[in-house]
Amino acid sequence: MELKVENLHKSFDGQEVLHGISFSIQSGKALGLLGRNGAGKTTTIRILMDVFKANEGTIFIDGKPFHPSEYKIGYMPEERGMYPKKRVDEQLIYFAQLRGIKKAEAKKEAQRWLDRLHIKEYEHRKLETLSKGNQQKIQLIQTLICNPDIVILDEPFSGLDPVNSQLLKDVVKDLIQEGKLVIFSSHQMSYVEEFCEDILIINKGEVALQGNLHDIKKEYGYNRLVLNISKYTPMQMRALCTAELKDIVDIYEERKDCFILELKSGHTKLELLNTLVGLQLNIEKFMEYEPTLTDIFVLKAGDHA
């Protein structure tokens, strides 16, 4: 399956909050949907789920108009929506039945997921008596109990310890391998880097950046190198770059443990390395720069963007 979103616009009370959002996602891949609070991520998700109607734009699945009612959608919102004073098993079955699952099948699936996530002992407990992490896992079961075609996860790792995070990682990886359409939204960039081949960064209702994450990292790291000289202070590093190396590189960024340099046009990393060796410097770190997703996000969605 391929879900394709084209030119989404949405306004509230005459103020436009989405200004032509377009992206696509294929089965067996996860799309990292990123943006600061208020950027338009949740509005985009709600349009996909037919909670909001777009003022303009189209959504297709496999080239045909997308009607959410014809597909099973599992949505795990950032703001959780289950009943704290109800028993875990009762509400899992209830939510499954609301989505068209027969009661016997709902019971079977609830048991399977409770076992898988190691929380079967809590099935008869009220949700509010569980830890935050275990409540999170119950919310995940509610999202997946209908075996959805499209899975939308908004901050799914919030409140999880490392052991439970690993359990959830395994679930997300299985969903991708099973060919689900997965949209993954999080401010925890390490998880996005782990799961998502493609990313979409929304900033102030517009697409700030989208594409294959590996290709984006290569592009943003192009002609940039990481350099540190043993026992050199930042002032000495700065002096080196603006004196002996000034014809070869510019300083792209200063960091606590290194400098990131950008090669000037017509110069190569081998030329830079030979120059450093010729100066008889004790090179501690010299490598190609690969930005993290956090670096890219700050660049494209920060206050200066």
Q: What CATH number does the domain containing 262 carry?
A: 3.30.70
Confidence category of residue 156, pLDDT binned at 50, 70, 90: confident
Residue range 262-269: mean pLDDT, rounded: 94
Per-residue b/e over 187-199, b at no fewer than 16 CB within 10 Å? bebebbeebbbbb
**Residue 302: what pLDDT?**
76
144 and 171 co-located in one domain: yes
State pLDDT tens for residues 61-100: 999 999 988 999 999 988 777 889 999 999 999 999 998 8
* Contact by Cβ (8 Å): 240, 229: yes
Q: Cα(first)–Cα(last) distance of the chain, in Å?
A: 34
**Residue 304: what pLDDT?**
59
Please provide the average confidence, as pLDDT, over all residues in the chain.
Answer: 92
- Gap between the Cα atoms of 58 and 263, Å rounded: 43
30 closest CA partner among 3, 64, 67? 3
**Residue 305: what pLDDT?**
55
87 and 62 co-located in one domain: yes
Of 89 and 157, the one with more pLDDT: 89
Domain end marker among 159, 188, 213 = 213
Which secondary structure element, helix H or strand E, spans residue 4, and what is its range?
A: strand 2-12
When divided into structural domains, the chain yields a total of 2
Least confident of 87-91, 114-118, 184-188: 184-188
Q: Write out the residue range of the structural domain in which residue 119 sits.
A: 2-213
148 and 242 co-located in one domain: no
Confidence category of residue 158, pLDDT binned at 50, 70, 90: confident
291 has pLDDT over 60: yes
Tokens of 243: 């004196």
**Residue 125: what pLDDT?**
94
300 closest CA partner among 224, 194, 221, 200? 200
82 and 197 co-located in one domain: yes
Residue range 27-36: mean pLDDT, rounded: 92
Domain end marker among 159, 186, 213 = 213
245 and 105 co-located in one domain: no
195 and 75 co-located in one domain: yes
198 and 235 co-located in one domain: no
